[in-house]
Amino acid sequence: MFGVLPEPVQADQAGVSYWVPGRFGSLAAAPTVPGWSMAEVYYHTTVGASGAAAAAREIEIGRIPRTVNVNLNLNLNAQADLILLNPTYTFATPVLGGQLAIGVTGLFGRSSASIDGTLTAAVGPLFATRTGFLGDSITSVGDLYPQATLKWNAGVHNFMTYVTGDIPVGAYDRTRLANLGIGHAAIDGGGGYTYFNPATGHEFSAVAGFTYNFINKDRDYQSGIDFHVDWGASKFLSKQVFVGLVGYGYQQITDDFGAHPILGGFRSRVLGIGPQIGFLFPVGDMQGYLNLKGYGEFEAANRPSGWNTWLTFSISPMAPTSTVAPTRRIATK
Read off the pLDDT of residues 190-209 as tens digits, 9 standing for 90 and up. Answer: 999 999 999 999 999 999 99
Strands (E) in the chain, as ranges, are 35-50, 69-90, 99-123, 126-141, 145-154, 157-166, 186-197, 202-213, 226-236, 241-252, 269-283, 286-301, 305-317
Position 114 scores a pLDDT of 86
Region 161-178: mean pLDDT is 93
Position 3 scores a pLDDT of 33
121 has a pLDDT exceeding 80: no
7 has a pLDDT exceeding 50: no
The DSSP call for residue 76 is E
Position 266 scores a pLDDT of 77
d(CA 4, CA 19): 8
Asked if 26 and 233 count as a contact pair (C-beta separation under 8 A), the reply is yes
**pLDDT (tens digit per residue) in 298-311:** 999 888 899 999 99
